[in-house]
Structure 1
Amino acid sequence: MNNQVGSKTMITSAVNVERHPSVSMMDPHSRPEDRNCPINPHPHHDYRIALYYCYLPIPTKTMVTEHVDFHNMIGQRYSLGGRVRISPEGLNGVLSGKLQDLKRYAYDLEQELDRLHYTTENQRKWDLDIKYCLLREDIPVEAQLFANLVAKATKTVISLVDTDESQQQRSNRRRKSEPNKVPNNPHFVAQNILDQGLHQHKPATHLSPGEWDDYLGELTAANDPSKVILLDCRNVYESNVGHFLVPQASTILTNTRKYAELPHVLLSQRDRLLQSDHIFMYCTGGVRCERASVFLQAMLENQCNEEDSDSPGETKKKPQIYQLHGGIQRYLEQENPSLYKGKNFVFDPRRTDPKHDNSTVGTCLLCHQPHDDYDNGHAPATNKEARCWNCRILILVCDDCRQTVACSNEVHDEALPRMYCGGKEERCLHVPPVRILNSER
């Protein structure tokens, strides 16, 4: 599942899924020395990671609760593991299992959603757009499957604004005490813009992978690089190992630590964004762009209105905004995904998707040589990844340099300097800087 933070869970239900008989019952998150079950060879192509989201109303708390129960029931039926968020505005899920069982799950889910909305297949106004992602062949199948299924009820499909209760309470108190004054609290400002966007705008125009390539090619041939911007809506540890790089266009790597930081980064970049003619947004599977594009439209509209009021008689033109339908994951499924460089980071036990162009865009924090493996050759499930000593964010440290430093999840050898996301014995980057990439033909 794409990165979700800040939502208040109303109901959480975890089910220990009984594995298919051909799969070892090992917990992929346990340490190797704790695993007593033998590893049996399994064909990787029989299994998939299913990634999907769907915005559709599930209007009552009772219906949300029933839907949580439904997911637990069919998850057990088909021996699936993973994470599913069920909210009044829709669903967001990532599951692991046998391909045939995932497709049975998808069919049952569509039937259940039809039942909730009294629709038939021909009447549907929603699309699950499930992406069935391949497993990596360099690590065992059982190390890439979720240990259990967790279906939980949440307030949102994905939380663009940090909904920390104390922040909300402070903002509410301030609104009551100062009704004529707009609070400067950044969370309140972001929420206000998002609320405006949800009322006034639809998500940005979807482009299929083919349309994405064609339109970018057409526009970059006729514009200067500053007029066409690609906006990466993912976190810093995702874009560090892969991103779009288009000749004669600029790519903004927002470099957030979590999705709820994105509004503040967009606000800091609004002048640059407003100067462009076309903005192409992308994320892993598409769900983050659905909300972020609504926020972006409202933010740029407010900025245009402010500038118009300062210059009567002049009308500021807003840039056209698009989003990649199905995200990077769907883009990499096409025959020639030439504009995406590096690996696609994923929020499941694989860490990265096996489909990539064999280029390495990441670099070691210490020696600055090409490197894009957070786990240094280990399976992600073994928990041997490199992390900042202070904040524990994923960091890139090559195999050679890894022997010379201590990361957060390792026993600290006093003879070795501690490794931080800002470098060796340097500092923790609480706010990683935004990066602007430009590519020449």
Structure 2
Amino acid sequence: MALPEQGVLLYYKFVTLPDPEATRNWFERSCSSLALLGRIRIAPGGVNVTVGGSMESLREHIDAVAGQELFQGCDFKLAACSRPMDRDAAASCGFDSLSVRLVEEIVTLGVFPSPSLANAGKHLSPEQFHGMLDQAGSLKQSNAVVLDARNIYETRIGKFCPPPGIAFLDPKIRQYSDLPAWIDEHAEQLRNKSVLMYCTGGVRCEMASAYIRSKGEEFENVYQPRATQLSGGIQRYLEAFPEGGYFHGKNFVFDHRISVPSLQDKTVGCCYSCKSPYDDYTPRLRCSMCRMLVLLCESCKASVPYLCELCAANQHSSEPVESGRDKCSKLRILCLHGFRQNASNLKGRLASLSKKLRRTAEFVFIDAPHELPLLYQLLEDETRQEPTAQPHKKFAWLTDPDGPKASTQTWTPVQKSFDPMQYQKQTSGWSESWEYLEQVFADRGPFDGVLGFSQGAAVAAILSSLKDAGLIDIKFVVLCSGFVSPVLEQQVLGGLIDCPSLHIFSGKTGYDRQISCTESERLAGKFRPGSRTVVRHDSGHIVPTRPDYLEKYSEFFKQFL
């Protein structure tokens, strides 16, 4: 029997979500039931989706999303493709599982406050974008410039090549949040210009074009930048111009396809080392300093360590980053995930934080020792089918002694909805978790500190009380959306913990639907006032990475470097 046709679906929507947590739950249920894999990011201001699966399931998902009033008008970019040929590459792209996460923004430009999307650049269809390049090229001299809003490794295998007389601007940025600084430094090249901007699918241009157009009243009145963007990005352009048009090379994509060529299939990229034509990122080679993708051919990839062109240009050491304490004396932080999660979940949740603090800290992620059963909630009429997605193991540090036990790695139906007070019943399993953590410290330590999220924060607080007793050697703890565990109550017996602590939690009642801000406040109250730092944010069950919050985190960490 022939296998069903496979495909990849991309779409985004900037829209105010009245209940991001409920939206996240809906997407997770919907995509799991259709066996879709990939990444979905949910923020108060919208959604950003890249998923893959059978074309039939993807079309069913499109119908379900389009039928919701909030998401009407989405530009669904659906493309047929083959099944992943390289499982390691698919895994590195996050296409071996389904990840649905709450984030602050669906795309992080890295400026605060974020520019108003009402001021975003005018959308041009692929035909209009192509026509403007034609028209500007015929004039030989033009005030139009083409701006690539993508990262440098993306531009190295494919880009727009405008006709003579039109400047092409490649910011050569390592990550999207570096783009505002480049725009600030190169404002002269954008002054009084018609800026034709593009990215992979359009979402990055929304924010970036709004930033250019909102440089302040003086900038807007004097320089009057006119930013326009390619609607639907490179993907829509190649659909309209399959031979490539003005786009040469391959379109880098963030899924298991790695890149998508035009029918022209011209090799634009070259090996960074020997400069021979090469444009295959499938090996997923990364810079030993900054972890950015590096383009090296088969002959040159044996020469390690790898160094990207940006690190080489900045004359970084070519020594690779090793685990343990490195020459930069970065803080090593052990990270403990929440209940019914795993190390991979927390690593994804903290990806933005890890990236922005990469020069300060190395984060080490581990699974908890108690494996949990895989549960899915039945609908009211009990008709919901068992999820068909490949199950991934879930773990806990503390468990409910009366809760369901893990048996086989199969899905188990439950009729109860999520109980926001379930953490109060999680009183068992500490002795096994403590024995396991002792071994982690012996095998993978030393660690400067421990970061815990949700139940992981409750456990990190227990560890901080053991520091007081001299049973563990850490300098600090970071407690994110934490609560007071009954185990901690038994440990401290009414006293205060004298361990430096950073508490990060929502400061608004009802925003965190998992752990109330009252519980997180109560946990902070278990630490001596002189040694605790509290950061109250205006989001939900997340660790926010806005610049104003990052500054507070950095100030806390500096005292231990």
Same fold (TM over 0.5): yes
| 1:352-408 deviation digits (Å, cap 9, x = unpaired) | 124453112112222222211123xxxxxxxx32221222211111222223x1145
Q: TM-score, normalised by structure 2?
A: 0.52
Superposition deviation, residue 144 in structure 1: 4.9
Cα pair 2:84 2:257 within 8 Å, conserved: no
User: Which of 359, 364, 373 is the equivalent residue of 2:271?
Assistant: 364
Residue number in structure 2 paired with 1:292: 208
Quick one: distance in 1 between partners of 2:150 and 2:41?
Answer: 19
Unaligned stretches of 5+ residues in structure 1: 1-21, 23-40, 118-123, 162-189, 306-315, 376-383, 409-418, 431-441
Quick one: distance in 2 between partners of 1:386 and 1:52?
Answer: 28
Quick one: distance in 2 between partners of 1:110 and 1:254?
Answer: 35
Superposition deviation, residue 322 in structure 1: 0.9
The 3-state SS of whatever aligns with 1:139 is coil
Residue number in structure 1 paired with 2:460: none
Residue number in structure 2 paired with 1:178: none
| 1:176-220 deviation digits (Å, cap 9, x = unpaired) | xxxxxxxxxxxxxx425x44x45xx42211111111111221122
Residue number in structure 1 paired with 2:79: 133
Quick one: distance in 2 between partners of 1:292 and 1:425?
Answer: 26
User: Which of 46, 55, 79 is the equivalent residue of 2:14?
Assistant: 55
User: Which of 311, 314, 332 is the equivalent residue of 2:238?
Assistant: 332
The 3-state SS of whatever aligns with 1:150 is strand
The 3-state SS of whatever aligns with 2:229 is strand
Larger radius of gyration: 2
User: What's the RMSD between the two structures over aligned residues?
Assistant: 2.8
Cα pair 1:274 1:300 within 8 Å, conserved: no
Higher relative contact order (CA 8 A, sep 6+): 1
Q: Does 1:262 align with 2:179?
A: yes
Q: Does 1:147 align with 2:103?
A: no
Q: Aligned runs of 1:21-100 on 2, under 5 Å? A: 42=3, 46-59=5-18, 63-100=19-56
Superposition deviation, residue 426 in structure 1: 9.1
Q: Does 1:210 align with 2:108?
A: no
- CA gap of 1:302–1:42, structure 2 versus 1, over 3 A, is farther
Q: Does 1:108 align with 2:71?
A: no
The code of the aligned residue for 1:92 comes to N
Residue number in structure 2 paired with 1:191: 112
Count of residues in correspondence between the two structures: 313
The 3-state SS of whatever aligns with 2:119 is coil
Q: TM-score, normalised by structure 1?
A: 0.65
| 1:2-40 deviation digits (Å, cap 9, x = unpaired) | xxxxxxxxxxxxxxxxxxxx9xxxxxxxxxxxxxxxxxx
User: Which of 168, 173, 187 is the equivalent residue of 1:251?
Assistant: 168
Residue number in structure 2 paired with 1:236: 152
Cα pair 1:212 1:324 within 8 Å, conserved: yes
Cα pair 2:90 2:96 within 8 Å, conserved: no
The 3-state SS of whatever aligns with 2:210 is helix
| 1:140-185 deviation digits (Å, cap 9, x = unpaired) | 6997582221111222221111xxxxxxxxxxxxxxxxxxxxxxxx
Quick one: distance in 1 between partners of 2:17 and 2:284?
Answer: 38
Unaligned stretches of 5+ residues in structure 2: 319-561
% identical aligned pairs: 29
The code of the aligned residue for 2:292 comes to I
Q: Aligned runs of 1:353-392 on 2, under 5 Å? A: 353-355=260-262, 357-375=264-282, 384-392=283-291
